[in-house]
Amino acid sequence: MAAADQSEALAAQVRAAAESGTALHIIGGNTKAFYGNPTEGEPLETLGHRGIVNYEPTELVLTARAGTPLGEIEAALAEQGQALAFEPPSFGEHSSIGGVIAAGLSGPSRPYAGSARDMVLGLRLLNGKGEIMRFGGEVMKNVAGYDVSRLNVGALGTLGVILEVSLKVLPAPAVSATMKFDMPVAECHRQSESWLRAGRPLSALLHDGKALYARFSGTHSAIADATEQLSGEVIEQPAADALWASVRNHTHTFFKDRSMPVWRASLPPGSDLEQILPGDERLVEWSGQQLWLKSEAPAAQLRAEAAAAGGSITRFYGDNPETEGVFQPLDAIQTRLHRSLKQAFDPKGIFNPGRLYPGL
């Protein structure tokens, strides 16, 4: 199952790049190359550094090298009735676990089961000096260096090269059922809170502008009770599985047409979804806390609206003509913190320059 460890070869390439001041473009499965700002540099390929290093089903912990395909990890977990609870999107068959963690993206279950960052127990990281560093551990109660591990989740490789990651895994639900409800988008938060307070095992929620879709995952008795007591239409399982896979991996009809920019807004619970960020097409997830929006409106306008609502917005798909980049711009204090982190982990600034924020 495990391939040859390429840590030292990767470290040697980093040391040479640091000595010459050569920028490096970290590449795994390359399925998320569209995400973030464009970056240039000599390729540092991690896909060959692969293999599950350790998996203890009874401990609910799996450790794998960065280039290990996401599909290989999910197959190994499924054999033991377990899963990655945050349902990471793959965006392609070559998606690697290193890319999953570097991007920090989570799927439909994120508000109910936890995020990618929540599941990271430890990392082996290659810093900008070519030094191999270890943070965290392989047991859930280990907290040494835990926050340092989490710093690299969503950093898009700008702080270092993830060599290995230890993840908390969870038992897969015994059964799931998806129901369709005819209710307006404004009801997303209120209705999901009502279900959760009643003990309903909500595991995903979607509003496509026409109807609300809710997935419940848990024991056979809990799901039977939900489908019997709630007034929605039960969706046949194959169609339900296809729906959530399409939302998770962006093959849903909403994402197929990218003739205009697609924005991803992160919003506080209970935001007024009928008023905030109007657009030509919208898709709502996470009980109303994640809003996908197609809009040609200026970035500054959308960012001001998102910030006024207490959230932020990212240009997820589409060209990026704005000089401030695809992510919500940082204020002065945030910029100083990011520069300090970059200096500590990557003093020569060779890793994915500008991928996360311009100039970093």
**Phi, psi (rounded to 5 degrees) for 40:** -125, 160
pLDDT in tens, 219-265: 999 999 999 999 999 999 999 999 999 999 999 999 998 889 999 99
Rounded Cα gap, residues 230 and 207, in angstroms: 17
CB 130 within 8 A of CB 14: yes
Looking at residue 288, what DSSP letter applies? G
Q: Average the pLDDT over 50-61 and give the result.
A: 96
pLDDT-based confidence at residue 145 (cuts at 50, 70, 90): very low
Structure-block tokens of residue 38: 């464009």
CB 36 within 8 A of CB 326: yes
Q: Average the pLDDT over 60-86 and give the result.
A: 98
SS3 per residue for 90-113: CCCCCCEHHHHHHHCCCCCCHHHH
Q: Average the pLDDT over 24-34 and give the result.
A: 96
CB atoms within 10 A of CB 333: 8
- Strand order in 281-285's β-sheet? 233-235, 175-181, 212-218, 202-207, 281-285, 290-294, 262-266, 312-317
Please state, for a pLDDT cut of 90, what percent of the chain lies above it. 89
CB 84 within 8 A of CB 105: no
pLDDT-based confidence at residue 143 (cuts at 50, 70, 90): very low
DSSP-based three-state secondary structure for 272: coil
DSSP-based three-state secondary structure for 200: coil
Does position 295 have pLDDT exceeding 50, yes or no? Answer: yes
What is the reported pLDDT for 316? 96
pLDDT-based confidence at residue 1 (cuts at 50, 70, 90): very low
Q: Average the pLDDT over 121-147 and give the result.
A: 76
Tell me which of 85-89, 167-171, 256-260 is least confident.
256-260
Rounded Cα gap, residues 41 and 138, in angstroms: 33
| Beta-carbon contacts of residue 138 (< 8 Å; ≥ 6 apart) | 54, 59, 61, 63, 121, 122, 166
Does position 105 have pLDDT exceeding 90, yes or no? Answer: yes
Tell me which of 74-78, 138-142, 306-310 is least confident.
138-142
pLDDT-based confidence at residue 104 (cuts at 50, 70, 90): very high
Does position 58 have pLDDT exceeding 60, yes or no? Answer: yes
Tell me which of 97-106, 209-218, 288-297, 319-328 is least confident.
319-328
Q: Quick one: CATH architecture of 7-171?
A: 2-Layer Sandwich (3.30)
Q: So where are the chain's domains?
A: 7-171, 174-317
Q: Average the pLDDT over 269-285 and give the result.
A: 91
CB atoms within 10 A of CB 175: 16
CB 49 within 8 A of CB 71: no
Query: How does the average pLDDT of the chain come out, rounded?
Result: 93
pLDDT-based confidence at residue 144 (cuts at 50, 70, 90): very low
Does position 146 have pLDDT exceeding 50, yes or no? Answer: no
266: exposed, middle or buried (Cβ count in 10 Å: 0-12, 13-18, 19+) = middle
**pTM for the model:** 0.93
CB 177 within 8 A of CB 216: yes
Does position 76 have pLDDT exceeding 50, yes or no? Answer: yes
